[in-house]
Chain A
Amino acid sequence: MNPEVFEPKILAFFCHYCAYSSADLAGTMRIQYPPNVRIIRTPCTGRLEVEYFLKAFENGADGVLVAGCLEGGCHFIEGNLCAKRRVNMARDILSEVGLEKERLRMVNVSAAMGRPLADIIIDMVETVRKLGPSPIEQKSARTNSSNPTSEKSEMLS
C-alpha cells in the first residue's frame, strides 16, 4: 500500500450463503480486490442489527459494507430484506450523527458472483477513499494523541 494514499478501513459483513462464497470464488479465480476490507462471515444478513453498524463506526471503521443474497434468494426467505431495512435505519442515524450515509452500503450478490463482488469492493473502497478518513476516528485519534503530548509538555515544564 502507498503510505501517501489514504487506505480506508472497511468492515464487511458477508452472508455465509452468498457473498462469503463469492469472496471465496474470487480467490479461487485469482481475482484481486483491495485488502481494505475486513470480512466477517454471518449466518445471514438478517442476523445483523443496527447497533452492529454503529459500533463499527464508533470503533474506527471508515466504511461498512453489508452483502446479502439476491432479493428473493435468501436462504432464510427474507433475512436480506430485514437487513436492507436495518441498514437504511442505520444510514439515517449516521446522518443524524453527522457522518456521511454513503459510508454504509448494502449490496446483494449470489454465490457465483466472484467478479462482480470484487468490483463492488473496489467501488466501495474508492467511495470511502473519496470521503476521506472517518471524522469519528480522527477525533478519537486526536484526543488520544493529545493526552501523551500534554503529559510530555507537563513533564518538560
Chain B
Amino acid sequence: MIVAQRKSIPELIEILDGHKKVLVLGCGTCVTVCLAGGEREVCIIASALRMASRLRGNELEVEELTIERQCDNAFIETAAEAIERNDVVLSLGCGAGVQAIAERYSTKPVYAGLDTTFIGILEERGIWTEKCSACGLCVLHDFGGICPVTQCAKRLLNGPCGGSREDRCEVRPDRPCAWQLIYQRLKDIGQLDKIKKIKEPKNWNPALDGGPRIIVREDHRI
C-alpha cells in the first residue's frame, strides 16, 4: 500500500492561508490503512484546523468528508457537491488522489494535506516500512524476494558492500543490511548459487528516470 504521513498543523495553516471554506477530504483506501488520511484523521485534522485558525484570528469553516477512493472518478463524483460548496480542498489522499481531484476541478485549488512517503507494509502496530520503489522492472526473483533496489541504501545489485556492521546497514544502523537478508533468504530456500551470479547494470528506463510512466491495456479499453 501507499504510506503517507500528515503535515504539521502550522504547515497546513500556512498552505490554507487566505481561504475561508475548506473541505478536508479523506480517502478510504491506502491512507486509511496507514492511519494518515482516513475518516478518523480527517476528524482530527479538521478539529485542529478549526482551533488553530480560530487562535490565529482567521477562523476557517471546515467541512469533513471521506470518500472510498480519491484516485477513481466514480468515487470522486460522490464528493462533487462538497467540493463545489467549498473554496478549497485539502486532500488527505496520496499524491495520486490529490492530482486526480485537481485534474477534475480545474478552477478549484486542491492542496495536499499529507506527505506521500513510500510503497510499503505494516511491519508491526504503528510501524510501516518501505518495500518497493516501483522501479518498473522487478528483480525480486533474483534476490529471494527481498528488494535490493529498495532495501539496500546503496541500491547494489551485486552486494554486499562490505560496510555492514553485524547485520545492520552502515548507512542506516536502525535498518537491517538488505544483503544480509538476501543471503539468509537464498540460503533458506536453497538458491544460494544465485548470489554468485553477476548482475548486469539495471535498465532504469522503466523507472521514473525515463519520465512519467503510463500503462495502456488495449484489452481493457473501450
Spell out A's residues near B (CB within 8 Å): 49-51, 54-55, 57-58, 93, 96-99, 135-136, 139-140, 143
Contacts and interface: CB of A to CB of B under 8 A. Distances in A.
Contact of A97 (B9, B43, B59): B9
B175 interface: no
A54 B51 CA distance: 9
Given A97-B9, A139-B54, A54 B48 contact: yes
B10 interface: yes
Query: Chain B: interface secondary structure?
Result: helix
Interface of B: 8-10, 40, 43-44, 47-48, 50-52, 54-57, 59
B47 A55 contact: yes
Contacts of B48: 54, 93, 96-97
Contacts of A98: 51-52, 55-56
A54 to B, nearest CB: 4
A97 to B, nearest CB: 4
A131 to B, nearest CB: 14
Contacts of B43: 51
B44 A135 contact: no
12 contacts: A49-B40, A50-B40, A50-B44, A51-B40, A96-B52, A97-B55, A98-B51, A98-B52, A98-B55, A99-B51, A136-B51, A139-B55
